[in-house]
Amino acid sequence: MKISDRLTGFVLLLFATAILVEASRFPLIPGLSIGSGLLPMIVASGLILCSLVLIVKDMIARPRPKLAEPGDWISDHRRLIRVAIVLLGTASFIPLLDVIGFPVLSIAMLLAFLLSLRVDVMTSVLVSVTASLAIHTLFSKVFLVPLPWGILQSVAW
Amino acid sequence: MDNILNAFTMIADPSVLGVIIASSLFGLFVGAIPGLSATMATALLVPLTFFMDPLPAIASIVSAVAMAIFAGDIPGAMLRIPGTPASAAYVDDAYQMTLRGEAERALGIGLVSSVFGGFVGAIILTLGAPFLAEFAFQFSTVEYFWLAVLGLSCSVIISRGSPIKGLVSLLIGLFISTIGIDVTGGYPRFTFGSVDLMGGVSFIPAMIGMFAVTEILRFSMNASHQTSSAPKSNSTVYGGQWKMVRENKRHLVSGSLIGTVIGILPGAGADIAAWVAYAMAKKISRTPAKFGTGHPEGLASAGAANNAALSGVWIPALVFGIPGDSVTAIAVGVLFMKGITPGPMVFVQQADLTYAIFLTFFLSNLLLLVLGYFAIRGARFVVQTPARLLMPVILLFCIVGSFAITNSVFGIAVMLVLGVLGFLMEENGFPIAPAILGIVIGPMLEDNFMATVIKSDGGIVGFFDRPVSGALGAFTILIWVIPLVTMALRRRSQRIEAGA
């Protein structure tokens, strides 16, 4: 996904200005003219300068690059689905991990990802179940990480 | 002497040896898979190191990376796809040898050179780091501040592509490091009332996101995930290698020294070391025209350089706490996580541990001679492991690893957000390494900066009034000014030429 430097620069400019405004409200250290906002303000100033350079360089470039190019993957539904599975599958762990539990959620995500990569159904089921249970056992039994069982709590070992 | 004996005892512990062997096998496997880098091997190891003692934690990283850097040669020679960027410099030579039926000889040269470079780098690390640490005892907050600025500056200037984009990446990393409660003022910054953000952005999920998730996203967008096969080989791994060492000893020595020195420079690393050593070997060669056509000289020099750099890069990381590349940035983060602050005091307070880490470098290189042989023999199977089976499992491992750091889904959220950010950055020419260095070094930079400002009552003189700090400060400023002046002069001469 190609984004032109002028668009990136503009987004950075807004972001850095927001940091600058927020950091200017941070309290000072008693007796000194500096405080918690100093480094964020230096960072924001640097980002503002860089974003202006990016914008100007891109504006004077000939031929001027397109504002944004999504890449050929966006028009290929298989690749689009794969990217969606990676992003949404990972994001789904945030609200659903406690409710559904690690084993079911991880098997579902792996299965979807493997099938989207055109791995045959038997192999996909085998890899997703084996990998999920192996990783679950390693982290919960060896490293004592409390991975939630969720709806499988009654069969937890 | 006692420290060295204790270090031997520590490393001889069966559990430590077991971790080293397991990590070595893991590093060989990851390095041999095209698209999975040594940094990714480290990123995937970190969640496991969280549960280890400091020595096995660091030893696992050292051994996995040494193996991965060598293993990157395997797909380079077999398929002309470098497994790691450090193998890219000499991929044409290695592949041309493979086409001549000499795949195992080419990989054997890479293996012997890697071990040679690894040993030279480890010797320099073992002798040089304690000497530098003695010197570093005289350093105060201001010298550490300048060293941090110097390290970050080099990471921007040396990074590939536009320096402005490198600087943006660094500033993003520094901004991320400011999130959470400010230690000096005790004020929560950019937390928006979130309790999770109060503790700051943990570097482990950040790093897993920026390296591993970025790679998985790129893989998902690729059209084809086919594996190809390598031509047949009629050579042997160790056959004729002694002769190769004798014929190429100056390339091996110069490559090893170049690699170690480039490794020491903040911001550089094994990738750059390999390119510089390859170029140097070509320059001093009597047969420069043969480079790129399957010539062992470039392979020997660059192969030695990339492994030597792995040791060199640990010198600033251990002595000053300034990591020189992404891998040592991760390792320094692991040390912090274990309650160990890298710096000269480590050589006094944890001397046994420090020497045990040095010993790990020697042990890893010895292991490389043995395991590398079997990796080459089994190379055909390793490079053809389908990435479409591996990538989904790696994603799950990343999710669990990020969760395990705080036992909350906050880690997964950090990993995902920074994974997407890292992907967008790399796609648009913004290097990731400066951002990671910013996240790791940021707190140290700010602490030393604030301490110096407070000591000098808010004045700027305090940053230059000691000889070493003055020299470091001047050097850092020059590093920034020289490229700007050169650029301005070049523009001016271009304008004059255009006018004439």
A45 touches B: beta carbon within 8 Å: no
A99 in the same domain as A122: yes
DSSP run (H or E) holding A20: helix A5-23
Q: Do B395 and A90 touch (CB under 8 A)?
A: yes
Shortest CA distance to B310 belongs to which of B35, B69, B58, B54? B69
A110 in the same domain as A43: no
Q: Do B428 and A145 touch (CB under 8 A)?
A: no
Reported as half-sphere exposure (CB side, CA atoms, 13 A), residue B12 has a value of: 6
Reported as half-sphere exposure (CB side, CA atoms, 13 A), residue B376 has a value of: 25
A42 in the same domain as A10: yes
Report CA-CA distances (Å) from A31 to A27, A34, B49, B460. Answer: 12, 9, 43, 17
First to last CA, chain A: 45
Res B227: pLDDT: 55
A136 in the same domain as A78: yes
Q: Do B217 and A94 touch (CB under 8 A)?
A: no
Last residue of some domain: A36, A51, A69? A69
Please state the pTM of the whole predicted model: 0.78
Residue span of the structural domain in which A11 resides: 2-69
Q: Do A34 and B450 touch (CB under 8 A)?
A: yes
Of B50, B396, B454, the CB nearest to A131: B396
pLDDT at A93 over 90: yes
A20 in the same domain as A41: yes
A97 in the same domain as A48: no
**Each residue of A72-82: pLDDT tens digit?**
778 888 889 99
Chain A neighbors of B221, CB-CB under 8 A = 71, 73, 79, 82-83
Chain B neighbors of A85, CB-CB under 8 A = 220
Res A7: pLDDT: 94
Structure tokens at B281: 């070997």
A134 in the same domain as A89: yes
Res B382: pLDDT: 64
First to last CA, chain B: 71
Q: What is the mean pLDDT of chain A?
A: 91
Res B310: pLDDT: 86
**Each residue of A94-153: pLDDT tens digit?**
999 999 999 999 999 999 999 999 999 999 999 999 999 999 988 888 777 889 999 988
Domain total in chain A: 2
B459 secondary structure, DSSP code: -
Chain B neighbors of A82, CB-CB under 8 A = 220-221
Of B189, B412, B457, the CB nearest to A36: B189
A145-150 long-range contacts, Cβ below 8 Å, gap at least 24? A145/B400, A145/B403, A145/B404, A145/B407, A146/B407, A147/A102, A147/B400, A147/B403, A148/A97, A148/A98, A148/A101, A148/A102, A149/A101, A149/A102, A149/A103, A150/A97, A150/A98, A150/A99, A150/A100, A150/A101, A150/A102, A150/A103, A150/A104, A150/A105
Of B407, B442, B445, the CB nearest to A146: B407
A17 in the same domain as A53: yes
A130 in the same domain as A97: yes
A55 in the same domain as A93: no
Q: A–B: how many Cβ contacts below 8 A?
A: 167
Last residue of some domain: A45, A69, A93? A69
A83 in the same domain as A65: no
Res B244: pLDDT: 86
Structure tokens at B170: 């660094």
For each of chain B's 500 residues, which pLDDT tens digit applies?
A: 677 788 888 888 999 999 999 999 998 888 877 666 787 788 888 888 888 888 898 899 989 988 888 888 887 888 776 767 677 778 888 888 888 888 888 889 989 999 999 999 999 998 888 888 888 877 888 888 888 888 788 777 766 678 899 999 999 999 999 999 987 888 999 998 888 899 889 877 888 888 888 888 988 988 665 555 556 666 777 778 888 888 888 899 999 998 898 888 766 667 778 888 888 888 888 888 888 888 888 889 988 998 898 888 888 888 888 887 778 888 888 888 888 888 888 888 888 888 898 899 999 999 998 998 888 888 766 666 677 888 899 899 889 888 887 788 999 999 999 999 999 998 999 988 788 888 878 888 898 898 888 888 777 788 888 888 888 889 888 888 887 788 788 878 887 877 76
Q: Do A119 and B388 touch (CB under 8 A)?
A: yes
A136 in the same domain as A103: yes
User: Could you tell me the residue ranges of all domains in chain B?
Assistant: 2-221+233-463, 464-500
Asked if residue A89 lies in contact with residue A112, where contact means CB atoms within 8 angstroms, the answer is: yes
What span, in angstroms and rounded, lies between the C-alpha atoms of B255 and B305?
5
Cis-peptide, bond into residue A65, ω within 30° of zero: no
What span, in angstroms and rounded, lies between the C-alpha atoms of B72 and B30?
9
Q: Do A94 and B409 touch (CB under 8 A)?
A: yes
